[in-house]
Amino acid sequence: MSTQATRETRRVTNTRESQLPVEQGFSVGRLLGVQHWLIPGTRPGRPLTPSWLPARPCPHLPRPPRPAPRGPRGKSSRARQEEPTSVARRSAGMAGPQLRGRRLLARRPPLPLPLPPPLLLLLPLLTPVPAAGNHCPCREPALCLPIRQRPDFEVFVFHVGQKTWKSYDWTQITTVAVFGRYNSELMCHAHSKGARVVLKGDVSLKKITDPTFRASWIAEKLKLAKAQHMDGINIDIEQEVTCSSPEYDALTALVKETTDAFHHEIEGSQVTFDVAWSPKNIDGRCYNYTGIADACDFLFVMSYDEQSQVWSECIAAANAPFNQTLTGYRDYIKMGINPKKLVMGVPWYGYDYTCLNLSESHVCTIAKVPFRGAPCSDAAGHQVPYKVIMKEIHSSISGSQWDEDQQAPYYNYKDPSGQLHQVWYDNPRSISLKAEHIPQYGLRGIGMWNADCLDYSGGAVAKQQTEEMWKALKPKPAQR
């Protein structure tokens, strides 16, 4: 996710975990019916009438009188026991010896009924346990099953909770990371398109040095993923770690243990980890990148917020400069990380900076806002989604400009108070230039932060702008 979103307490990524479904247990009658061949006196293909049960009474003999109604519901205990099953079986034409045998058991005196040895072995199975599958909210139960296929090319989408998800380009999406409120309808729709839906996983690094805490955290996330019919988890930490700290190794252990648990419990599940645009301790994040890459399915490289630490002049610059972005991927690969474990992340948003001074050559001097040791940072500006940028650009004082060095667009505008601003962003052109290198570097795929930044209102202009941004995710052969 975005670094500035982390600094601003991630207002758009607070997830409310839904209430877990009520646990269900096995039906004793169903279990006995299925396992009838284990009971003495029966064999496969014959009704369940074990020799150790009393024989059926002669049909011509009168039945014992029914006990008088009692209890608040006006039914005897036998009637209450019989009604749900007997009515259902009579309606289905299933009132056979098995049902009659159960009615006879209900009329027996309340004495302990000895069980044959084979049935004693089944007692642990008769204890109520959570059902293998929770209630499925989809119109087709199969849509609640985990996605198992592995796409050749990954398109990884972050969803932050808005209702625009139905308008995403589902012909491309392979994974949706839910960083907003859980929506079962989104899960059903994604599965119908063959796309995975994964949880957000964040945790305080100060706690993960405790193996017991790690196990508890993983169990909690795994339980939630199962309850919500999810396909994995995207671990998003973005916290500062020193290379010699206990957290350095603990973070790698957390990722490995999470991956092992999810792969074991959810077939076909996916565990991913978000990393900065470069492995060179960006924002003080000294992580064991090779170890983490080996431990999970792949890394989502956040190739944006690249001005989070500005060590040179305090001026506005591109969110994801072309050369700097590609250098980051080359550095990851030089470390020995398999390129197929790297997904290129691109921004669908930009930064709006207030200019202390705007030169004739469009250099915007910004305020000094330190961040993790650097004298300046993009915290001097604020994030703006692409849909807002497309509306503002028409009222700008410069129109869209193109910076050849950074291979990125920008524009200048004046706010109502007369203050000058400069906005740097990414558009289909700048994104396509970077995406062209995905095949060249052998990367696993592409993704963005975040899919809700586009205008899905349906207007002709907005529709074209949105379609062009989605098309930019499809890499073309490099022209350079």
Asked if 304 contacts 319 with a C-beta cutoff of 8 angstroms, the reply is yes
Helix H or strand E encompassing 57: none
Q: Which residues of 141-159 are buried (b: 16+ CB within 10 A; e: fewer)?
A: eebbbbbeeebebbbbbbb
Give the type of residue at 69.
P
CA–CA dist 217, 457 (Å, integer): 39
**How many Cα atoms occupy the beta-carbon half-sphere of 38 within 13 Å?**
14
Does residue 155 sit in helix, strand or coil?
strand
Q: Strand pairing partners for 449?
A: 347
CA–CA dist 462, 367 (Å, integer): 33
Residue whose entry in the numeric block shows the structure tokens 């098995």 = 98
Cβ neighbours for 60, distance < 8 A, ≥ 6 positions apart: none
Order the strands of the 408-414 sheet from edge to edge. 381-385, 349-354, 420-424, 408-414, 401-403
DSSP letter at 293?
Answer: H
Does residue 460 sit in helix, strand or coil?
helix
Cβ neighbours for 412, distance < 8 A, ≥ 6 positions apart: 355, 358, 362, 364, 396, 397, 398, 401, 420, 421, 422, 423
Strands 232-235 and 270-276: parallel
Does residue 162 sit in helix, strand or coil?
coil
- Give catalytic residue positions: 238
**First-to-final CA distance of the chain:** 30
Residue whose entry in the numeric block shows the structure tokens 């302990």 = 112
CA–CA dist 474, 315 (Å, integer): 32
Asked if 246 contacts 209 with a C-beta cutoff of 8 angstroms, the reply is yes
Tokens standing for residue 209: 């040095």
From the list 273, 288, 282, the residue with the least C-alpha distance to 237 is 273
DSSP letter at 276?
Answer: E
Ranges of beta strands (E only) in 134-259 are 154-159, 175-178, 196-201, 232-235
